[in-house]
Structure 1
Amino acid sequence: MTNLKSTRLVRNSWYLLIGLSLIFVLLYLYSALFPGPMQPAVTKFFSQNTAIQARLYNTTPRILSMTEFILQAVLLIGLLFSSLGQTLFRRFVNSNTPYWQACVFSILSLWCLLKILALPFSFFISFYWQKIWGFSTQSQAAWWIDYFKSAGIDLIITLLGGLIFFWLVNRFSRSWWIVGTALFSLFLVIQYLLWPIVISPLFNRFEPVQDAAVVTMVKDLAQQAGLEISDVLVMDASSQTTLANAYFTGLGSTKRIVIYDNLLNNYSLGEVKAVIAHEMGHWRHSDVVHGLIWAMFGGFVVFALLTILLKPWLPEHSKKPPQLWAALQLALLLLLFSSNPIQNSLSRDMEYNADRFSLELTGDLKAAIQLQKDLADTSLADLSPSPFIVWFSYSHPPALARINALLKEAQQTNTAGD
């Protein structure tokens, strides 16, 4: 009876996860194809033509990204649950193959399959589509160099992570997920510490801000905010894109604010000030640390759910089958996809708080609004996205929502500025 209940729980968990993912896919595709009328307030800040062009630009990547997800899920489901998939595993992983060699083969072959499936989508969305809309400044050769760098890093992390995973499930039959959560949390800390100084420089150059006016501005803002800002760096984003951005990253001694050179070169000093103040808001609110804590908690929940979903591939008294890796990839794909709304809701709240901090620090509502307008204009951000798409996939609030929030904050605090 216990085994029957356990089997039913596993089956129902998979059905629930696949069903929820399917519902989200259908709602997302419907929202992308039929986003509804433009919000009337859009034309108060943006031209109608820009709003129409932005919808055209964003629709195709949305549909393609969802198509990629569907194909990945179908591939993994086919490998795990179809007779053809089982035959393939039996053919390539036979009884004469040493166990750890079979595990490595399973990890590498699945990584290759998924990379090959994703490559056309990656190329079209991140290079070709950006090129025809005038955003990419990279040559095709430069794009491929970056792609292979990224793929190489991903391969190393995947292979090491996969071997550690197989060691865990074989060494700690019942408590593997607890040890796994601890190791995952350690990996996150190491990643946050080292990524800015080890990985990011493989793709871009980072130099301290040289503009005297910006340096003075940063010092003044930091003094106002009561912060000790060690590094404000400029990234050579113009070698890859025409888009402008800035971000806050790192932990401890690797904390830094990074500004795209496009932002410094093409935006007013008031807008640059608003951006830097916004990133200082992330610094002041310890958003990287909070994001890290949430990621650790999310890792704990995911590992706990994996103990249910992966149960058919986790025999208690024998080595775990290499097919377990495909089951793990499918479970993670669906779990991370289904949890998108939670992750993005937390991120949007952080962005709103950083916007409020920026306005409080600078007192310049005009520059803050102009920044949102220019960023949306130059990137063709969707100015009236479907509410579902925002809820499901937006890590940052839409431009109009941010402008309205700034106006509301200024009205409440009387910090409208000049």
Structure 2
Amino acid sequence: MQPRLNIIWLGIILLVGLFSLLYLWFTLFPGQVLPDALKYFSAEQVDQGRKYSRAQQLLFISSFLVQTIFLLWMVFGGRAAALSRWCQKLSGGNYLGSILLFFLALWILLRFINLPFTLYGSYFLQHHWGFSTQNMGAWWIDYLKSAGLDLILSAIGVVLLFWSMNRWSSTWWLACAAFISVWMIVQSFLWPVVVSPLFNRFVPVDNPEISAIVHELSQKAQIPVEQVLVMDASRRTTKANAYFTGLGHTKRIVLYDTLLNNYPTDAVKAAVAHEMAHWRQGHIIKGLTLSIIGSFVIWGLLFILLRLTLPTPMPYPPHTWAIILLFFLLISFASSPLQNSFSRNMEEEADRVAVKLTGDAPAAIRLQIVLSTKNLSDLSPPTFIQWFSYSHPPALTRINLIQQYSKP
């Protein structure tokens, strides 16, 4: 059963192709540095940030294009259908067995294809720029943990997906969207306490000064902050960061130990205030709500597309999984500007609320300057790259906005 190329596929592929060309063009030719950037950063810092960002962006777009071309070749070049028939034969006609064999074969192929990009980007590149503190053995342990978790969860998901597709021929997409929605909520509860500890150690903040800062800010924000944890980020990187995660009793603010150890107290306070602002403004709930709405739209589009792509879909053959993977890869890339736009808006709101909580705009600005310098951020990214791929506003934008927020 050879998949058919149709007008919807062509539209998605053309859009992705256009975005890819623009992304590659502005990565290679980022344009002039904004004059305002040189008010806060040296020419050398700007240059270093651009070089590091360019390397990361080239890795990202290269990895994406290689995976996309491979899956297009598999799906529309007949290779996926041939592999599907081989899996059916090898499984002795057992439907579930052929599904799992096809899933495993494609999972291994994609892992193999993407491994050079992952290894270079997260190990060699990070060592070259002085960020990584891991040795090769520790990197492989992390990689195998992540791959094993992905394999188990994905295999379970594939079995449930094909079961629902064949059981509810007209409404399976609603069931899948509902299941994914529930999974996103459950994951938000469980990820901080089940998955994250597999990779890092988390301990409560034991610095009395930081504890006092958290207590002060939580009173101002009028929110009960039960957990502020320190993560042993230094076992992998010299980069500093902080984040807010979880729902209900698993809500917590997590600070990198590199932030606490290498940054002044007022900068740490600004970082805590920013994460607390996410909490106060309900950004995780808002993000989940938008994701759930998007999930129903995307699964509905997939349902329509599969009906047009497979001539006689019932029961869905094993290579349907390759079509689904290709669809989600392309849609995730094409919808990046929309997803990142929502994220940037929430980050700007968190910056605004954080400045109100601390009353210390200069500290928030210093935090942005030091973070951007030490993490080698692109200090003058092209407008298209910002629009397409930035989940946070660039440093200069944040600094200018923080200055505006501090004005009476």
Q: TM-score range by the shorter chain?
A: over 0.9
Are residues 1:79 and 2:74 paired? Answer: yes
What is aligned with 1:243? Answer: 239
- 3-state DSSP of counterpart to 1:406: helix
Once residues 211 and 364 of structure 1 are traced to their aligned partners in structure 2, the CA distance between those partners, rounded to angstroms, is 21
Kept after mapping to 2: 8 A contact 1:309/1:331: no
Kept after mapping to 1: 8 A contact 2:372/2:379: yes
Once residues 254 and 86 of structure 1 are traced to their aligned partners in structure 2, the CA distance between those partners, rounded to angstroms, is 44
- AA matched with 2:174: I
| C-alpha distance 180-84 of structure 1, shift in aligned 2 (>3 A) | closer
| C-alpha distance 179-84 of structure 1, shift in aligned 2 (>3 A) | closer
- 3-state DSSP of counterpart to 2:203: strand
Are residues 1:360 and 2:365 paired? Answer: no
Q: 1:221 aligns with which of 212, 217, 230?
A: 217
Once residues 306 and 173 of structure 1 are traced to their aligned partners in structure 2, the CA distance between those partners, rounded to angstroms, is 13
Once residues 172 and 151 of structure 2 are traced to their aligned partners in structure 1, the CA distance between those partners, rounded to angstroms, is 23
Q: 1:38 aligns with which of 33, 38, 52?
A: 33
What is aligned with 1:394? Answer: 390
- AA matched with 1:257: I
Q: Once the 2 structures are TM-superposed, how far is the Cα of residue 157 of structure 1 from its aligned partner?
A: 1.2
Q: Once the 2 structures are TM-superposed, how far is the Cα of residue 63 of structure 1 from its aligned partner?
A: 1.1
What is aligned with 2:136? Answer: 140
**In the TM superposition, what are the counterparts of 1:366-385 in structure 2 within 5 Å?**
366-385=362-381
Q: 1:252 aligns with which of 248, 252, 273?
A: 248
What is aligned with 1:124? Answer: 120
Once residues 165 and 358 of structure 1 are traced to their aligned partners in structure 2, the CA distance between those partners, rounded to angstroms, is 42
- 3-state DSSP of counterpart to 1:310: helix
Q: Once the 2 structures are TM-superposed, how far is the Cα of residue 224 of structure 1 from its aligned partner?
A: 1.0
Q: 1:60 aligns with which of 55, 63, 66?
A: 55
Q: 2:96 aligns with which of 97, 100, 111?
A: 100
Q: Which runs of 5+ in 1 are unaligned?
A: 1-6
Once residues 214 and 21 of structure 1 are traced to their aligned partners in structure 2, the CA distance between those partners, rounded to angstroms, is 46
Kept after mapping to 1: 8 A contact 2:6/2:309: no
- AA matched with 1:42: A
**In the TM superposition, what are the counterparts of 1:265-344 in structure 2 within 5 Å?**
265-312=261-308, 318-344=314-340
Are residues 1:48 and 2:43 paired? Answer: yes
What is aligned with 1:184? Answer: 180
| C-alpha distance 256-405 of structure 1, shift in aligned 2 (>3 A) | same
Q: Once the 2 structures are TM-superposed, how far is the Cα of residue 64 of structure 1 from its aligned partner?
A: 1.6
What is aligned with 1:11? Answer: 6
TM-score by length of 2: 0.97
Q: Once the 2 structures are TM-superposed, how far is the Cα of residue 265 of structure 1 from its aligned partner?
A: 0.7
Q: Once the 2 structures are TM-superposed, how far is the Cα of residue 75 of structure 1 from its aligned partner?
A: 1.1
Once residues 397 and 314 of structure 2 are traced to their aligned partners in structure 1, the CA distance between those partners, rounded to angstroms, is 55
Kept after mapping to 2: 8 A contact 1:244/1:375: yes
- 3-state DSSP of counterpart to 1:396: coil
Once residues 262 and 255 of structure 1 are traced to their aligned partners in structure 2, the CA distance between those partners, rounded to angstroms, is 21
CA offsets 1:298-349 (integer angstroms, 9 cap, x no match):
1001101101221246666831111100000000000111000011000001
CA offsets 1:85-126 (integer angstroms, 9 cap, x no match):
433333343394311100001111111111111111001001
Once residues 264 and 294 of structure 1 are traced to their aligned partners in structure 2, the CA distance between those partners, rounded to angstroms, is 33
- AA matched with 1:90: R
Once residues 55 and 314 of structure 2 are traced to their aligned partners in structure 1, the CA distance between those partners, rounded to angstroms, is 47
Kept after mapping to 1: 8 A contact 2:204/2:229: yes
Q: Once the 2 structures are TM-superposed, how far is the Cα of residue 410 of structure 1 from its aligned partner?
A: 1.4
Q: Which has the bigger relative contact order, CA under 8 A and spacing at least 6?
A: 2
Once residues 236 and 27 of structure 2 are traced to their aligned partners in structure 1, the CA distance between those partners, rounded to angstroms, is 27
Identity, in percent, stands at 46
Once residues 80 and 205 of structure 2 are traced to their aligned partners in structure 1, the CA distance between those partners, rounded to angstroms, is 54
Once residues 178 and 166 of structure 1 are traced to their aligned partners in structure 2, the CA distance between those partners, rounded to angstroms, is 14
Q: 1:231 aligns with which of 224, 227, 242?
A: 227
What RMSD, in angstroms, separates the aligned Cα atoms of the two structures? 1.5
CA offsets 1:337-396 (integer angstroms, 9 cap, x no match):
100001100000110000001100111111010000000000000000111111000001
Once residues 248 and 13 of structure 1 are traced to their aligned partners in structure 2, the CA distance between those partners, rounded to angstroms, is 38
What is aligned with 1:4? Answer: none
Kept after mapping to 1: 8 A contact 2:188/2:246: yes
164-173 or 87-96, larger mean C-alpha shift: 87-96
- AA matched with 2:370: D
- 3-state DSSP of counterpart to 2:244: strand
Once residues 163 and 75 of structure 1 are traced to their aligned partners in structure 2, the CA distance between those partners, rounded to angstroms, is 24
Kept after mapping to 1: 8 A contact 2:80/2:322: no
What is aligned with 1:156? Answer: 152
CA offsets 1:228-285 (integer angstroms, 9 cap, x no match):
0000000000111000000000000100000000101111111111011101100000
TM-score by length of 1: 0.94
Kept after mapping to 2: 8 A contact 1:313/1:324: no
